[in-house]
Amino acid sequence: MLWPIPRGGKAERVGNPADVDPVAGGDDVDGRAHVDALADVDPADVYGADSRQPVGDRPWVLANMIVSIDGAATDPTGRSAGLGGPADLRVFSAIRAVADIVLAGAGTVRTERYGPARLHPAQQEARRSRGQSLQPRIAVVTRSLALDLDLPLFRDASDEYRPIVITTTAGLDRVRASGGAAGATTARDLAMVAEIVVAGDQFVDWGTALRALRTTARAGVVLLEGGPTTNAQLIAAEVLDELCLTVSPQLVGGDGLRILSGLDVDAPRRMTLHRVLLEDDYLFLRYLRAREGA
């Protein structure tokens, strides 16, 4: 079904729920995709009202990514910042506000120079009323453990919101064996500034890692902020429940990254469009994982 989106107005696709029935997304999932101008709504209310429940023994996993019209996940400088804008920042912050853990690959943490999540007082109040901690914690996945401990993520985090480093036995053994040679990070340095979670031998196993976040950090919602290498693994592991995708009104060209890198699957994964928000020519799309067989 094609459906027009009136500029500055509202539209609603009314489809056959049997066609679009997504995986347990909550009471608000009724088989319709809602289209709204962002200016008419508060993104904090919109994303905060979505139902996200743990799935079995793991947290709900949503990814938030931004792409150009031609599908680039980075601007010409190799970062994502140039794709964003004020409306995007509001949505980005509203999505962070629903997360217990913000998870990112080490590549993204290095490139984007991550710091601790900092939410506004109103967002903190909403979290308190939902029974969440006031801020989400950041978790970084890495095998090499080649992390700059001077990053704001480690330097500026409070004890209460210590970052989590998810790694492997092999990675930790290697760091221990290096014993801090030639400026290398030692396991002790790392343990001073982060909680270390070991989830796998050579590579992080996502089932183990997510269960650990559920049990040790009591996470109900994990927000995956990329990058493409890490995204692809969570999709291959069949644990991505939701994708919030911002389409930035820019043509970037080049042969930069897409939002998935290295995903090697037999068949494309189907997702169901749940909501569209519009502002400043940006599209904010919310997709849910389609139920098997839908």
Site string for ligand NAP, 184-223 (x = CB under 6 A): -------------------xx-------------------
CB-based closest residue to ligand NAP: 227
Q: Which is nearer to ligand NAP, 29 or 137 (CB)?
A: 137
Read off the tokens for 54: 């743990």
Read off the tokens for 42: 């508060």
Taking the complex as a whole, the smallest distance from the CB of residue 223 to ligand NAP amounts, in Å, to 11
Q: Which is nearer to ligand NAP, 24 or 149 (CB)?
A: 149
On whether the CB atoms of residues 138 and 116 are closer than 8 A, the answer is yes
Q: Which stretch binds ligand NAP (CB under 6 A): 43-51, 90-98, 108-116, 185-193?
A: 108-116
Q: Which of 35, 62, 65, 273 binds ligand NAP (CB under 6 A)?
A: 65
Q: Which of 100, 225, 241, 242 binds ligand NAP (CB under 6 A)?
A: 225
Site string for ligand NAP, 41-60 (x = CB under 6 A): --------------------
Q: Which of 58, 62, 80, 279 binds ligand NAP (CB under 6 A)?
A: 80
Site residues (CB under 6 A) for ligand NAP, limited to 256-285: 257, 261
Q: Are strands 60-68 and 221-224 parallel, antiparallel or unpaired?
A: parallel
Taking the complex as a whole, the smallest distance from the CB of residue 252 to ligand NAP amounts, in Å, to 11
Q: Which is nearer to ligand NAP, 116 or 228 (CB)?
A: 228
Taking the complex as a whole, the smallest distance from the CB of residue 258 to ligand NAP amounts, in Å, to 9
Convert the chain into a string of H (helix), E (strand) and C (coil): CCCCCCCCCCEEEECCHHHHCECCCCCCCCCEEEEEEHHHCCHHHHHHHCCCCCECCECEEEEEEEEECCCCCCCCCCCCHHHCCHHHHHHHHHHHCCCCEEEEEHHHHHHCCCCCCCCCHHHHHHHHHCCCCCCCEEEEECCCCCCCCCCHHHHCCCHHHCCEEEECHHHHHHHHHHCCHHHCCCHHHHHHHCEEEECCCCCCCHHHHHHHHHHHCCCCEEEECCCHHHHHHHHHCCCCCEEEEEEECCCCCCCCCCCCCCCCCCCCCCEEEEEEEEECCEEEEEEEEECCCC
Q: Which is nearer to ligand NAP, 217 or 223 (CB)?
A: 223
68 binds ligand NAP (CB under 6 A): no
Number of residues that bind ligand NAP (CB under 6 A): 31
On whether the CB atoms of residues 158 and 117 are closer than 8 A, the answer is no
Read off the tokens for 142: 């890495």
Taking the complex as a whole, the smallest distance from the CB of residue 111 to ligand NAP amounts, in Å, to 4
Site string for ligand NAP, 112-151 (x = CB under 6 A): x----------------------------xxxx-x-----
Distance in angstroms (rounded) separating the CA atoms of residues 203 and 200: 6
Binding residues for ligand NAP, per CB under 6 A?
65-66, 73-74, 78-80, 104-108, 111-112, 141-144, 146, 168, 203-204, 225-230, 233, 257, 261
